[in-house]
């Protein structure tokens, strides 16, 4: 029996790319519609929830019953998938302030430095040395 990752497709334009990247890691995967999770398939070793053109707050957004796999299998949510998991499990999903997001995108990120705080600390250390 070949083990596999299931990618549940919520309508993202990048679902096929996600599948290709998983396969490049020598892992078999299947892309299925969001509502077609194979409940009794013992070969499934993980689940990826893709992105979607919808917001989790949209009443027409696609939804899946997370109890089918949460706590039983590793789950990765990408974009909408991550927001859906958070929203469904009681987290708060809010619209980002686009100006703040744009400012973050303008900041260069050095290898090993991932947060704005790390950049500030590095800048302060550089100024102190000068």
pLDDT in tens, 64-94: 999 999 999 999 999 999 999 999 999 999 8
pLDDT band for 97, please (50, 70, 90 cuts). Answer: confident
Residue 100 has pLDDT above 70, yes or no: no
pTM assigned to the model? 0.73
Phi first, then psi: give them for residue 91, nearest 5 degrees.
-75, 170
pLDDT band for 123, please (50, 70, 90 cuts). Answer: low
Which residues, 6+ apart, have CB-to-CB distance to 28 below 8 Å?
2, 3, 4, 5
| Higher-confidence position of 56 and 110 | 56
């Amino acid at each position: 029996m070949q083990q596999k990752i299931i990618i549940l497709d919520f309508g993202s334009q990048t679902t096929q790319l996600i599948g290709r990247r998983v396969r490049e890691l020598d892992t078999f995967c299947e892309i299925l519609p969001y509502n077609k999770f194979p409940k009794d398939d013992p070969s499934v070793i993980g689940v990826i929830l893709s992105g979607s053109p919808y917001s989790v707050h949209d009443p027409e957004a696609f939804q899946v019953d997370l109890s089918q796999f949460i706590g039983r299998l590793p789950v990765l949510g990408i974009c909408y998938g991550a927001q859906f998991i958070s929203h469904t499990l009681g987290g708060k999903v809010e619209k980002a302030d686009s100006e703040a997001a744009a400012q973050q995108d303008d900041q260069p990120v050095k290898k090993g430095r991932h947060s704005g705080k790390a950049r500030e600390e590095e800048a302060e250390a550089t100024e102190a040395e000068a």
